[in-house]
Amino acid sequence: MPAASRPRKTVIVTGGAGFLGSHLCDRLLGDGHHVLCVDNFYSGTKDNVLHLLDDHRFELLRHDVTVPLFVEGEEIYNLACPASPVHYQFDPVQTVKTNVHGAINVLGLARRIKARVLQASTSEVYGDPEVHPQVETYWGHVNPIGPRACYDEGKRCAETLFFDYHRQHNVRIKVARIFNTYGPRMQVNDGRVVSNFIVQALRNEPITLYGDGTQTRSFCFVTDLVEAFIRLMDTPDDLTGPVNLGNPVEHTVRELADKIVALTGSRSAIVHKPLPMNDPVRRRPDISQAKAVLGWEPKVGVDDGLKQTIAYFDELLKKGPAALEHR
């Protein structure tokens, strides 16, 4: 349905001051909705939504989703959770709480106010996958006691809770399994590969390649992902997902490093660092379901998306240290 003919709603976005959440807030406001952005600024920043604060349809609430919340709205996007391994492993107990208590609180809210609720799940539910490309029917290969488990198992338990609230309490759910997504407003110190490599390349500092760089990922540009979110939320109630959302074009991390060095014209050298424990070897989404049920596939190629992301970081870094204080 074209945006103009869609009814106006109040939409709650938890994690709305983060990378994905802030782009989602932009899009929802652009579509004419009211947005309540809920965030505790653990890995996001007010700077990401500063440009929205004067919009009377936008409201920003500092709140931790591990605590119940009592607000009103017709739709909820549950994005609250640090997504970078560096951030989610910094305080793993909090990561589990955010995923599990956060899901319970958000689902309780959805139940009370009869809202539709979309969960930002992740390709990490597949762990270090033995099935390639990853299909939604694959149950995954996760180390339950490793350093990534706070996130992987937290997200898996959140999916369990979403489906149990759906079956037991008829909550209308949508579960999106998001694969690596990148773009402007990732933090300079985010720790994820795209932002790390771009910032290192722009500063002509060594590019930190973990392991031999043969591990693969598939990189989706943020605007494509947000489009998929909106389409998934708009599907009929019987479509719960999980639905894989991501770009099916697979690259080695080494290829990504070479590409970023070439696109930035950087003098950076590549240095090898140890591969983090349980780092998935291969990752690529099978997006047949998203194509069939959402009529969606990514439009932005990796070169184009990287150029837009490089332009963002280039401008930010040129502003100097003061501009980076909160990023």
Establish if 201 lies at the interface with ligand UDP (CB under 6 A).
no
Q: Which stretch binds ligand UDP (CB under 6 A): 205-213, 222-230, 243-251, 305-313?
A: 205-213
Establish if 133 lies at the interface with ligand NAD (CB under 6 A).
no
Residue nearer to ligand NAD on the CB measure, 65 or 207: 65
Give yes or no: 42 in active site.
no
C-alpha to C-alpha distance for 18 and 35, rounded to whole angstroms? 14
- Closest approach of Cβ 194 to ligand UDP, in Å? 7
- Closest approach of Cβ 301 to ligand UDP, in Å? 19
C-alpha to C-alpha distance for 111 and 91, rounded to whole angstroms? 29
220-221/243-245 β-pairing: unpaired
Task: List the beta bridge partners of residue 11.
Answer: 35, 75
What is the chain's alpha carbon radius of gyration, rounded to the nearest angstrom? 19
C-alpha to C-alpha distance for 63 and 79, rounded to whole angstroms? 13
Task: Name which of residues 79 to 118 contact ligand NAD (CB under 6 A).
Answer: 79-83, 98, 102
- Closest approach of Cβ 210 to ligand NAD, in Å? 17
17 binds, among ligand NAD, ligand UDP, none (CB under 5 to 8 A by kind): ligand NAD
Among 43, 180, 247, 264, binds ligand UDP (CB under 6 A): 180
Among 253, 260, 290, 294, binds ligand UDP (CB under 6 A): 253
Residue 135 CB contacts under 8 Å (≥ 6 apart), including other chains: 244, 286, 288
Query: Collapsing DSSP states into helix, strand and coil, what is residue 12?
Result: strand
SS3 for 193-237, per residue?
HHHHHHHHHHCCCCEEEECCCCCEEECEEHHHHHHHHHHHHCCCC
Q: Measured in whole angstroms, how far is the alpha carbon of residue 164 from the centre of its chain?
A: 23
Active-site annotation holder among 151, 165, 182, 210: 151
Establish if 252 lies at the interface with ligand UDP (CB under 6 A).
no
Residue nearer to ligand UDP on the CB measure, 156 or 172: 156
Residues marked as catalytic: 151
Contacting positions for ligand UDP (CB under 6 A)? 84-85, 180, 192-193, 196, 208-210, 215, 217, 253, 275-276, 279
